[in-house]
Structure 1
Amino acid sequence: MRPTVLIVDDHPPFRAAARAVLEAEGFGVVGEAGDATAALLACARLNPEVVLLDVQLPGPDGFAVAELLAAQPREGPAPDVVLISSRTHGSYRERLRTCPVKGFLAKDELSGAALRALLARDR
């Protein structure tokens, strides 16, 4: 089974690279979004299993979007949200403890294997 992913990042070149990597490694990328509003609309419309969500978005940041996604009423389970950033995990350690996300990956560590390993972990 190919897990479905929505990629949310304000840089189109990163979205294209992430799509290529994840699709080559067995994920089904169902959509892309460049900001919080587009992310929330796409998530409601596409119902992805995973949302790969950049921390530093224009407008509400990835932490705020994760909170909004967790609060959205929906049929079925909420998507697993994985925050990504060009910064390290340590930059966000405190916020990650309380945010309703599955985990965090640095952008330079993104791979299908790394995402699968993170999704398999208990929070």
Structure 2
Amino acid sequence: MAVVTTPETIRVLVVDDDPLVRAGLRLMLHGAHGIQVVGEAGDGTKVASAVAEHRPDVVLMDIRMPTMDGLTATELLRTRPDPPQILILTTFDADEHILRALRAGAAGFLLKDTPPADIVAAIQRVARGEPVLSPAVTQRLIARVTDAGQDRRRTLARDRLAQLAGREREVAVAVAQGKSNAEIGATLHLSIPTVKTHISRILTKLEFHNRVQIALLAHDAGLLADQP
């Protein structure tokens, strides 16, 4: 997987079943520099065709919609070749919704009462391939995952991480700790381009889409608990 670069104009698809919400988001984003709303969809069943037609860089996705919800649409969309980044924007903040979205490959999760400037910044970040959740929020969500099936998750996660070379494993742990590329480089005595290369290889080997998925897998494997 290549290192993500931000396009000059970020193409956004707005997915929400409320026409007023779609209109409000379109109006808000119209004034944002470097962002263009290229299309809309009112239900999860229409997302795939809208993506094929408009080729967005970022999909702004609601959760609760008729026929197909945004979480199912996210899971299906991320199985497509070269899918867009997905940013969940919803009124629902239940941990199970957040974790399901992130595990499916969504790049972030925002509530609809998020200030407009923060929504714009989040779109810009996910277009660069960066998660919009802070390390503290990510750790809070991870910590609240139910303990049911924890041993099985740990075994499966460690089996997947066995695909990584030693240095890649160290980088994966650093990503899970919420460190930036510069911080990872300083800690492991690597250049930033080398860190980016390692992260790209990790994403490719694990068939992941973003750093949040690496963090979740490292947690499931118990790697953070192993750190001093």
TM (norm. structure 2) is: 0.48
- Structure 2 Cα separation of the partners of residues 115 and 90 of structure 1: 22
Read off the aligned partner of 2:57 and give its amino acid letter.
Answer: E
- Structure 1 Cα separation of the partners of residues 111 and 94 of structure 2: 7
- Structure 1 Cα separation of the partners of residues 38 and 51 of structure 2: 10
Report the counterpart of residue 83 of structure 1 in structure 2. Answer: 88
Alpha-carbon distance, 1:71 to partner: 1.6
Q: Secondary structure at the match of 2:60?
A: strand
Q: Deviations over 1:31-82 (max 9, x none)?
A: 0010122221111111110110101111121111011111224xxx310011
- Would you say 1:64 and 2:72 are equivalent positions? yes
Cα 1:30–1:63 change in 2 (3 A) is same
Q: Secondary structure at the match of 1:45?
A: helix
Report the counterpart of residue 114 of structure 1 in structure 2. Answer: 122
**Match for residue 12 of structure 1 among 1, 9, 19:** 19
Cα 1:100–1:2 change in 2 (3 A) is same
**Match for residue 53 of structure 2 among 45, 68, 71:** 45
- Would you say 1:21 and 2:28 are equivalent positions? yes
- Structure 2 Cα separation of the partners of residues 30 and 41 of structure 1: 13
Cα 1:33–1:93 change in 2 (3 A) is closer
Higher strand content, 1 or 2 = 1
**Match for residue 105 of structure 1 among 107, 110, 115:** 110
Identity of aligned residues (%): 34
Q: Relative contact order (C-alpha < 8 Å, sep 6+): which is higher?
A: 1
Alpha-carbon distance, 1:114 to partner: 3.4
- Structure 1 Cα separation of the partners of residues 36 and 56 of structure 2: 9
User: Where in structure 1 are there 5+ consecutive unaligned residues?
Assistant: none
Higher helix content, 1 or 2 = 2
Q: Secondary structure at the match of 1:71?
A: coil
The size of the alignment, in residue pairs, is 120
Alpha-carbon distance, 1:86 to partner: 1.2
**Match for residue 63 of structure 2 among 31, 34, 55:** 55
TM (norm. structure 1) is: 0.85
Read off the aligned partner of 1:22 and give its amino acid letter.
Answer: L
**Structure number with larger C-alpha Rg:** 2
Q: Deviations over 1:8-39 (max 9, x none)?
A: 00000000111111121121000001012222
Aligned 8 A contact 1:54 1:83 in 2 = yes
